[in-house]
Structure formats: C-alpha cells, structure tokens
Amino acid sequence: SLSTNALKTTPRASFARATTRRCVAARARAPLARGTAVRVGGGGDAMGPNVTVRAIETASDAQRKDLHVVLVTPKIPGNTGCIARTCAASRVPLHLVAPLGFSLDDAQLKRAGLDYWKSVCVKVHDDWDAFYAYWRELGDERGRLVAFSKFGARPHAEDGAYRPGDWLLFGAETTGLPDAAMEACKATGGVRRIPIDESHVRSLNLSVSCGIGVYEALRQLDGSPTVDE
C-alpha cells in the first residue's frame, strides 16, 4: 500500500510538466504542483478534521465541473491508468483515495495512461475519512455521492439516475467500496448496479465499469449525441 510519506516524496518528474496549469475541481482553487499540500477546513469542527489534498497532475480549464470520478483504494495500476485515460477523454476530474495498491511511479500505471496524464485533474486523498471531509467542506456545491456496486438496488442506466455535480464512486477490484463509503452514498445519491450475467463472471473489470458509468452519466447530463448533417 502507499503511505502518506510515499505520496509526499514521490519524484515530481514522473508526471509533472514544465508548465503547471489550473486544476478545476468542484470549486476553484489555486494551482497545485504535484506534492503540494493544501489544508482544508479546521480541526475539531462538525465538518471533519483538516484534510490534506494533493494534485499529482493538473489540467486545463476545459475540465468539467459537473461530474467527478472517485477510486477508493484501487489495487491494480493498469486499471487506474485506463480510468485516467477515460477521464482525459471525457474531461472528468479524477480522485484517488489511499491506501493505493501501487506506487504513483508504477510503470503499468503510466503505460496504461500513456501521455494523457497531463490532461487529467487528479487529486490524492490520504484515506476515506480525508476524502469525505474534503467533500463535505464543499458545502452546497458538493453534489451527491453515487456508488457503483454489484449489490446496488437500482440499475445504472435508469432515467434520472444522475444529476449535475455527482461524484461517481468505484471501490477496490477485490473488495469493492468500504462500508463507510457505501453508507455515505446511500444517504445521498444511492448505489447503482451495472447488470451482468453472473453465471459466467463474478464482476466487470474496474476500468470497464468506470467507463460505462461515466458515459451513461454524461449521456443523461448532456442528452443523447446528435449527428451534424
């Protein structure tokens, strides 16, 4: 797993570019270089403890503000790299919740993401509590937490399943989302299930599930695509 110290000391050269551009998240923040720590909130209040948020890569103002992807303790670097590529293609910011099952320098992570990392706004959170406190600090702008799980009660493509500002949560490849994350989602945006024939497979690949969820959410937020004649 990846410790806090490892996150702070990961070499900057792995993902950073010569010019750091503005990272767009749920609300405007100052530009962040990889490894820069930002304190959010005050200790001991009802909104949760201080939270350390780090951007390992920053993207342009073209990033969407109405949708976010959150990977909670992902284990396989290739999956996370593929999801980063999906986020670059869809302009959706990506959040990684530690502990991670790999180093941010992992060759498979970089290979799967190719050279698209520079086009993704990525924030790393120390653990679930840190992410949850960060999300709560966003106040009225924070949107809903929507979980994806094989145990979800509602189909992922149900009409009206997604709203502007939603955060799409995906858990670890082996264990899924932790109980605390599931409860937080049930209290806000619910738990969605992508249908599969379980007589043949137990689950879908994490990166495939994320791609399905992201593009269904975008279809509902933006409307069905049209063809220019």
**What is the helix, strand, coil percentage profile of the chain, to 5?**
30, 20, 50
E strand segments, 5-161: 38-40, 51-57, 67-72, 94-97, 122-125, 145-148, 154-155
Burial of 4 (0-12, 13-18, 19+ CB in 10 A): middle
Q: For 13-40, what is the mean pLDDT?
A: 33
Q: Model confidence at 104, in pLDDT bands (50, 70, 90)?
A: confident
What confidence score (pLDDT) does residue 55 get? 57
pLDDT of 177 > 80? The answer is: yes
Q: For 197-213, what is the mean pLDDT?
A: 92
What confidence score (pLDDT) does residue 165 get? 96
What confidence score (pLDDT) does residue 20 get? 29
Q: With 0.85 as the threshold, say if the pTM is over it.
A: no
Inter-helix orientation angle 206-222/77-90, to 10°: 20
Q: Model confidence at 39, in pLDDT bands (50, 70, 90)?
A: very low
Q: Model confidence at 49, in pLDDT bands (50, 70, 90)?
A: very low
Q: Model confidence at 111, in pLDDT bands (50, 70, 90)?
A: confident
Q: Angle at CA 140, nearest 5°, toward 43 and 207?
A: 90
pLDDT of 28 > 50? The answer is: no
What confidence score (pLDDT) does residue 51 get? 44
Bond from prior residue into 99 cis (ω within 30 degrees of 0): yes
CA–chain centroid gap for 206, Å, is 12
CA 14 to CA 123: how far, in whole Å? 15
